[in-house]
Amino acid sequence: MPRRIAVIPALLALLALAGLAAAPAQAKRNLWRQVPTWNIAHQGGEDEFPSNTLYAFRRALAAGANMLELDIGVTKDGQVVVMHDTTVDRITNGHGTIASKTLSQMQRLDGAYWFTPTESDHYRHGRPASSYRFRGVATGRKPPPRGFSALDFRVPTLKAVLTAFPHTPINVEIKGRTKQEAVSEYLTNADALARLLRTVHRRDLIVVSFKQPAVDRFHTLVHGLPLAPGVEGDANWLLSGGSPGPGVVAFQVPITYKFGNALLQITTPGNVARAHREGYAWQTWFSDQDVDGPASWRKLIDACVDGVMTSKPVAFQRVKRSHREPSSCPRP
């Protein structure tokens, strides 16, 4: 779920500073806790491959990722597409919001237009055209890499991703206009996602949103699919020992959050252990001040987290092979 940059500072501060007295343990069998440290390819591994493309998903899985993380928006004609941003400008050769475009218009875009694999800022505009290795593959101006097609570099629909990876666990984040903090688009997108997933007979998906009302709306419409809570659900569980919400199987939170001059620790061994005692999985993403790299990965593995949502699934897999989780980590 990373990178949920637009967070509610007060709530996250409370999350980090909350007392951690354990609630009564729940005897739950949670499938998301039974694989040691899931390698969750965030946006398909957006630092190594073009964000949220079929190409990225295929490459990440081939490298050893065993779960995909992606984000959804909804087109003008109500179709669910896979893209992190609510606008197409940063990633593609187009301009404007997803909500202002039809599916046909979205599928004509180059989903890898601004991706540069060799630079630290992988989507910075204005570099020489030769820097953008995959530019033009989606539109047929350049041949695709061997074993791939132009379709692998376009903006995919969620339906296409689910069809392409029928046996791969997938985390689906409902996006909306985070800058305006408007709930309405999150709810619209939750409705569209529910319409789609009602017809998909899978239980290896987790649905999440930064906005708790979107998670609640989705659960009202589709009861059977696993969820991760929004910020309000996290807060209720950590602050009061209450429920994070019906259908929740995993917490998805950052390592740290910067609140004023304080760097608050969110993912700690104590928090992870408490979640495990109560039957929940703990999956970690990286906030702006967290380093998505080997030192952090090793600490997370040692803390017994159940999944790491990394933008570098290839590099993470190399570390995972050599740095095993402790034998003391509970795997029910």
**Does the pLDDT value for residue 13 go beyond 80?**
no
The terminus-to-terminus CA distance of the chain in angstroms comes to 25
Question: At 254, is the secondary structure helix, strand, or coil?
Answer: strand
**Does the pLDDT value for residue 119 go beyond 50?**
yes
**pLDDT in the model for residue 46:** 97
The more confidently predicted of residues 126 and 180 is: 126
> From the centroid of its chain, how far is CA 90?
18
Instruction: Extract the tokens encoding 326.
Output: 């402790």
**pLDDT in the model for residue 18:** 39
Q: What are the two backbone dihedrals, phi and then psi, of residue 257, each rounded to the nearest 5 degrees?
A: -140, 135
Q: What mean pLDDT do residues 316-323 have?
A: 97
The more confidently predicted of residues 17 and 311 is: 311
**pLDDT in the model for residue 77:** 97
**pLDDT in the model for residue 8:** 42
**pLDDT in the model for residue 70:** 98
Q: What mean pLDDT do residues 246-264 have?
A: 88
Which range (66-70, 203-207, 258-262, 325-329) has the least confidence?
Answer: 258-262
Identity at 24, one-letter amino acid code? P
Q: What mean pLDDT do residues 220-225 have?
A: 94
**pLDDT in the model for residue 15:** 41
CA distances from 257 to 10, 11, 285, 291, 298 (A): 11, 11, 11, 12, 19
Which residue in the block uniquely carries the two structure tokens 């997370």? 300
Q: How confident is the model at residue 264 (pLDDT cuts 50, 70, 90)?
A: confident
The CATH number of the structural domain formed by 9-86+156-322 is 3.20.20.190
**Does the pLDDT value for residue 178 go beyond 80?**
no
Q: How confident is the model at residue 230 (pLDDT cuts 50, 70, 90)?
A: very high
The 10s digit of each residue's pLDDT in 299-310 is 999 999 999 999
Q: How confident is the model at residue 3 (pLDDT cuts 50, 70, 90)?
A: very low
**pLDDT in the model for residue 179:** 54
**Does the pLDDT value for residue 62 go beyond 50?**
yes
**pLDDT in the model for residue 101:** 98
Question: At 249, is the secondary structure helix, strand, or coil?
Answer: coil
**pLDDT in the model for residue 9:** 42
**pLDDT in the model for residue 72:** 98
Q: What mean pLDDT do residues 205-212 have?
A: 96
Contact 298, 315 (CB under 8 A): no
- The pLDDT > 70 percentage for the chain reads 90
Q: What mean pLDDT do residues 242-256 have?
A: 94
Q: How confident is the model at residue 254 (pLDDT cuts 50, 70, 90)?
A: very high
Give the residue extent of every domain in the chain. Answer: 9-86+156-322
Q: How confident is the model at residue 180 (pLDDT cuts 50, 70, 90)?
A: low
**pLDDT in the model for residue 114:** 98
Q: What are the two backbone dihedrals, phi and then psi, of residue 285, each rounded to the nearest 5 degrees?
A: -115, 180
**Does the pLDDT value for residue 25 go beyond 60?**
no
Q: What mean pLDDT do residues 165-182 have?
A: 86
Computed over every residue of the chain, the mean pLDDT equals 90
**pLDDT in the model for residue 133:** 96
**pLDDT in the model for residue 19:** 35
What gap in Å lies between CA 109 and CA 217, rounded to an integer?
A: 31
